[in-house]
Amino acid sequence: MPPPKSRVGLILGTVGGVVGLVVVGAVGLWVVGTQSSSGFPEAEYRLVLPDTVLDGEYKLAQDLSDTTGKQVEDEAEGAFDARDVTAAVAQYAPQEDGAQGALIVSGMYGRFKNTDAARDNMLKGAAGVDAITVAVPSEDYTPDGSDVTISCQVVTQDQAGSEVTYPMCAWADGNTGASVAELGVESVGQDPEKVDVEAFAERTLQVRDEIRQPIS
């Protein structure tokens, strides 16, 4: 097992790659369905990127909506199942001094159809990238007290000869969809089977609650 200093370096080196992979998953949303101009819901909700998420545990480090997020918007242009899409992509860093890690949100808002397939495809899109391997297949969760389905998987990624393991979850509804991934120093060399995926589904739902807002 690498010493703690090496773990920190591995995590910092992995974050950029994770951003790209989560965006790939978000792009996968648009490859479902059949062409139709009807059946789109009204635009009632949007995504915002607040200064902090998860009750202040993470702070906004980079708003990538106008850069990396453009890949989502470009892919959605003319898609069968999406209308009026705007990207919301960000990297969050731990608020606690000296803590290392990242929470990465790659989302979009607009008007969407076929949301169940879209949620699955967000995870399949990331799983199809050579750089990562799905260690625990996708499973659906409905956290207590919620009617929202969150799909989650555990992936591994090789970084400088070490294996980094982290959970990735996604949701999609008629107005919003996003993939969320989280990693920290404990991710290096972690047994994928020991990742508490159900707990991360609940954290993903909390992220959704904090960034999904009614359009006023």
pLDDT in tens, 56-111: 999 999 998 998 888 777 777 666 688 888 989 899 999 998 888 889 998 889 99
Local confidence band at 149 (pLDDT 50, 70, 90 cut-offs)? very high
Query: 20-29, 137-146, 158-167, 201-210: which has the highest mean pLDDT?
Result: 201-210
pLDDT value at position 30? Answer: 45
Identify the three-state secondary structure at position 148. Answer: coil
Cα–Cα distances (Å) from 35 to 72, 80, 85, 119, in that order, read 19, 5, 17, 19
Local confidence band at 1 (pLDDT 50, 70, 90 cut-offs)? very low
pLDDT value at position 213? Answer: 97
Cα–Cα distances (Å) from 60 to 46, 56, 80, in that order, read 18, 10, 32
pTM: 0.87
pLDDT at 2 over 50: no
pLDDT value at position 77? Answer: 64
CA–CA distance, 105 with 100 (Å, rounded to integer): 17
Q: What number is the average pLDDT over the span 174-201?
A: 91
Kindly give, in sequence order, each residue whose CB lies less than 8 Å from that of residue 69, ignoring residues fewer than 6 positions away.
Answer: 23, 87, 88, 89, 106, 108
Local confidence band at 28 (pLDDT 50, 70, 90 cut-offs)? low
Local confidence band at 49 (pLDDT 50, 70, 90 cut-offs)? very high
**Which segments of the chain are extended strands (E)?**
45-47, 52-53, 58-63, 82-94, 101-112, 132-141, 150-159, 162-172, 176-184, 212-214
Task: Please list, residue by residue across 30-48, b when 16 or more beta carbons sit within 10 angstroms of its beta carbon and e when fewer do.
Answer: bebbeeeeeebeeeebbbe
More confident residue, 192 or 19: 192
Q: What number is the average pLDDT over the span 7-25?
A: 58
pLDDT value at position 56? Answer: 97
Local confidence band at 130 (pLDDT 50, 70, 90 cut-offs)? low
Mean pLDDT of the chain: 82
Q: What number is the average pLDDT over the span 178-193?
A: 88
CA–CA distance, 178 with 202 (Å, rounded to integer): 14
31, 33, 45: which is closest to 176 by C-alpha? 45
Q: What is the dihedral of CA 23, 108, 153, 90, to 10 degrees?
A: 60
